[in-house]
Structure 1
């Protein structure tokens, strides 16, 4: 593959990588369950990328500090009380996405054991890469969550 194309794929985000993997597998095989699993992985990526973008806009601490200065401390309490439910929902949402990831990877291992082939090994590599990126996104998400809670607790004192 041309390095310029690879660079563009990386810049566009991991879900593009998963879509390419999907097309590759469809081209090489007629396994519909594989197709379903790769679609699920692609959707998983797409959702997680959108969620990270949404979360970063919600948890922009500089905006919270600005609000706090404007309203003499009341805005931060309002912000946290209204977004605590969002935080817990997002964590549950992440856990469900991680469960989907586990199912996909388990199926990949099953295919690798029962149908040892170069295609299956590549398929496993794609899903391993997916797992790593989801894991890193989860770490970013949790870091943002801890940051806003720490900021809130500090300002409560």
Structure 2
């Protein structure tokens, strides 16, 4: 059984449902997310004031040396997965992961784009260095994260 959603993850999912279906009722949202309608009403009360405020600007992505040109599709490649709405591609676990990324202040679209860029850069790097044959998904075993440096403090 998956872990319960955090409040931020649930609210992100509520916002997404409202974006997809503007007239959806609190009862329908509650049924889809498996929570009570009073929980959804509290979420809606918290979301509505936040929606009226301008969204924070996402942090600029770090420049990358890897080219971002799309790769040519091999012959017989599957149809564009985005021909169906992206929301249909996300499992509840992926939606919860997206909410985690959004906790850093990013919009859903920025978080998805950035996650794709990072993963695609890792794949390209593995292929270009000859670690994996092109078209084979590399096993990612390590992620490097820079130390957080608060403004005005020395590392």
TM score, norm. by length of structure 2: 0.22
Larger RCO, structure (CA 8 Å, separation 6 or more): 1
Q: Higher helix fraction: Structure 1 or Structure 2? A: 1
TM score, norm. by length of structure 1: 0.22
